[in-house]
Amino acid sequence: MGWFSSLFSKKETNPSSKPLVLSWFGTDIHSHLLPGVDDGAQTMNESIAMVSKMAALGFRQCVLTSHVKMDIYPNESHRLKNAFEQLKNEVEALSIPINLALAAEYYIDDSLLTRLAENDILSFGKERYVLMEFSFATPPVQEQKVFDAFLTAGYKPILAHFERYGYFHGSVEKALAYRKQGVFIQMNLNSLTGHYGVEVRKQAERLIDEFALDFVGTDAHRMDHLTHLEANLSLPYFRELGNRLMRNQGL
């Protein structure tokens, strides 16, 4: 066999050498694509460009998870629903081949249990998943109480971008403990590219190595999050994810 044909036979027998194709996941569960409601897309044009890019990257569905945080983004559900309807209408008018679902990324603060008590929670999937996040600066103190309240109310909490909390770096023990409690763990795909720094990348790799991961998401705030991800899909850990089943595929 000559060098040329051996090159091709090598590729054929080693599928893991191919870049990850994002259609493998089907659904992106974490994004900031609604226009003008948080630090994600700011205009309808920006939203449409990003939704089109999501479809071009292979996603069949996007869950839109705008920030809900009492002091900075006190997004009322009706405000997010209005923005969602407008975006959905535009996407349908332009025949962009993607399904959009509305949820939110809830910061765990004093307002969250009030929203739960008022039955004012945006969840997704028939499992009623709810995406939640902590402070990056200080370790959470009340999170177990909040998780339990949601679990008791019939929701399934997902902890957003576990790998980005610096106070957990070096171990995935906390992720394993949360999972035991019934909480699912989400990782940002761009954490594997080094976009958030070396330590976040290492922690993301640890989540994969230790099989401590339930969902992946783009957490796309801007177009360059998506183009940066697209440019890095040949990295070994992305190829490894191409062999893994996540809960994304079940949505």
Binding-site size for Fe ion (CB under 5 A) equals 2
Toward Fe ion, which CB reaches closer, 13 or 136?
Answer: 136
Toward Fe ion, which CB reaches closer, 205 or 219?
Answer: 219
**Taking contact as CB under 5 A, which single stretch among the options 71-79, 103-111, 171-179, 234-242 is the one that binds Fe ion?**
103-111
Cα separations in angstroms, 109 against 73, 102, 141, 142, 146:
12, 21, 10, 9, 9
Q: How far is the CB of 74 from Fe ion (least distance, A)?
A: 16
Toward Fe ion, which CB reaches closer, 105 or 163?
Answer: 105
239-242: list long-range contacts, CB under 8 Å, 24+ apart.
239/16, 239/17, 239/18, 239/19, 239/20, 240/16, 240/208, 241/20, 241/24, 241/208, 241/216, 242/16, 242/18, 242/20, 242/21, 242/24
**Taking contact as CB under 5 A, which single stretch among the options 47-55, 76-84, 105-113, 168-176 is the one that binds Fe ion?**
105-113
Closest CA to 206 of 159, 243, 173, 184: 173
Taking CB under 5 A as the rule, does residue 105 contact Fe ion?
A: yes
Q: How far is the CB of 32 from Fe ion (least distance, A)?
A: 6
d(CA 27, CA 18): 21
Closest CA to 225 of 32, 70, 45: 32
Instruction: Give me the sign of the Cα torsion angle 28, 214, 109, 121.
Output: positive
**Taking contact as CB under 5 A, which single stretch among the options 83-91, 104-112, 171-179, 232-240 is the one that binds Fe ion?**
104-112
Toward Fe ion, which CB reaches closer, 28 or 105?
Answer: 105
Residues 212 to 231 in contact with Fe ion, rule: CB under 5 A: 219
Q: How far is the CB of 5 from Fe ion (least distance, A)?
A: 47
Q: How far is the CB of 160 from Fe ion (least distance, A)?
A: 6
- Full DSSP string of 141-169: SSHHHHHHHHHHTT-EEEETTGGG-GGGT
DSSP state, residue 123: -
Q: How far is the CB of 219 from Fe ion (least distance, A)?
A: 4
Toward Fe ion, which CB reaches closer, 159 or 241?
Answer: 159
Toward Fe ion, which CB reaches closer, 79 or 239?
Answer: 79
Q: How far is the CB of 30 from Fe ion (least distance, A)?
A: 6
Toward Fe ion, which CB reaches closer, 134 or 150?
Answer: 134
Q: How far is the CB of 68 from Fe ion (least distance, A)?
A: 11
Taking CB under 5 A as the rule, does residue 38 contact Fe ion?
A: no
**Taking contact as CB under 5 A, which single stretch among the options 146-154, 211-219, 228-236, 238-246 is the one that binds Fe ion?**
211-219
Q: Using CB under 5 A, list all residues that contact Fe ion.
A: 105, 219
